[in-house]
Each structure stands twice: as structure tokens, then as C-alpha cells.
Amino acid sequence: MQRKLNLIFRASILLIVVSLHGKDNEINKPIFLYGHIAPHKSDPPFIPISESNYEKLSYQLDSSLSSSNVTNKKIVMHIHPQINVTLDGKSLVIPAGIGINTTLWNDHTLDQYGMGPMKMTTKEMNMIMQGMAPLHTHDTSGIIHVESNEFRNYTLGQFLQIWGIDLDGREVELSVNGNNIKDYKNHILTDKEQIILNIKNQKNVTSV
């Protein structure tokens, strides 16, 4: 009888240890990286809003870290153009994390004008982020954050290069504040302007 009670006692202790170990693993497991602000590399660059699983995420950056980059240059330019993109008439998601997440930071020619490593905090995590390109997005609202350590003219084409979308073989129409712009790549971004980028596949474009 005593032996049976000892076996039951040992088995109970083992179950408790295993249970606590499992909870520790769950607690120590990282919740997410960069707040799931970008799709997996295999996802297409064009994502219809109706098919999107994105949530609108907003990040707060530690001001003591976001005011300088690796060269200790302060951010002196901060404007917010708004962009909406359609493909063959369908509204598309502007991904969160363009110019922040490595999968959506495809051109680094402007990195010297952006921000270096900084602290990013949300309700669920604190982390040190690697930095930002001078043209980037924080969420899926379509707001382009132009944050630069020099006053410069930044273009829509540069933002699209950082995003990494390929418009070769497509017809692209640009409207800014209701005005049609012929050269979409060289359009200079300005604060609070409303940009509508209409992309059409060549196969869907009929010649006149």
C-alpha cells in the first residue's frame, strides 16, 4: 500500500513539472516579429483589399531613438502623402512596413537619409527595430511617411522602388489632388496630397 502511494505521489509530481514546463515555453515564446507588418516573401506584391487579412497596426516609436540614425543626424523633414492604389479597378492594400520590414525594403539607395535602429513599442511588445528608409509606411492606411535627415525632393517612383513592386508591362495612371500627372515616377511627394495610382495590365488595355 505504501509503495502504491509513493508511485502515485511521484506520478503527480511529474505531471506538475511537465505542465509548468509547457507554460514556461509558451511564456518565453516570442509573440511576433515586427508586429506581422508584412506578408511572407511568397505573397504577391498586389493584394486586393477584399482578400486581405491585414489589420491596421499603429506603432509608437521611442522619441529618444527615432530622432537620429547611425550618423547621428536628426530627422528634419516629416510629411505625410496619402496613396490609394487600384489594379484593373480593384482597390489594393498598401502593406504596413514598407521601408521597415526586410521583405518590403527592396531598394537601399536612400538609406543614408532615413533612420537607424530605434525602439518600437506596442501594447504587446517592446523591441529594437533595425531602422527605416526615409519613405515608409507604419500601417495599412495608405499614409506614406516621409521622414528624412535632409530636406530633399522624394518621388513616388522612389517609394515604389522601396516597396519593390514591378510595374513593367503595365499601364500606370497617376492622379494627384484630382489632377492627372503624366510622369508618375518623377512626381515629387508633398504633405497631405491625395495620390491615386491606377494600374492596368497590358492585356486588359485596349488600343484606340
DSSP state, residue 187? P
Closest CA to 194 of 80, 93, 36: 80
DSSP state, residue 89? T
**Burial call 27-63: b when 16+ CB within 10 Å, e when fewer:** eeeeeeebbebbbeeeeebebeeeeeebeebebebee
| The pLDDT value given to residue 22 | 46
**Rounded to whole angstroms, how far apart are CA atoms 106 and 96?**
14
Residue spans of the domains in the chain: they are 34-204
| The pLDDT value given to residue 168 | 85
| The pLDDT value given to residue 48 | 55
| The pLDDT value given to residue 47 | 57
How much is the pTM?
0.66
Which pLDDT tens digits describe the chain residue by residue (208 residues)? 656 555 555 655 555 544 544 444 443 333 223 333 333 344 445 555 544 444 444 444 444 444 433 455 889 999 999 999 999 999 999 999 999 888 999 999 999 999 877 666 666 667 666 789 999 999 999 999 999 999 999 999 999 999 998 898 899 999 999 999 999 999 999 999 999 999 998 655 444 3
Closest CA to 138 of 200, 81, 95: 95
Query: Torsions phi, psi of 14, nearest 5?
Result: -60, -45
| The pLDDT value given to residue 46 | 56
Structural contact between residues 153 and 188, judged by C-beta atoms closer than 8 angstroms: yes
Closest CA to 176 of 190, 159, 193, 191: 193
| The pLDDT value given to residue 20 | 47
Structural contact between residues 64 and 72, judged by C-beta atoms closer than 8 angstroms: no
| The pLDDT value given to residue 15 | 53
| The pLDDT value given to residue 117 | 76
**Rounded to whole angstroms, how far apart are CA atoms 97 and 208?**
40
- CB atoms near residue 151 (< 10 Å): 8
- CB atoms near residue 186 (< 10 Å): 12
Alpha-carbon Rg for the chain in angstroms: 24
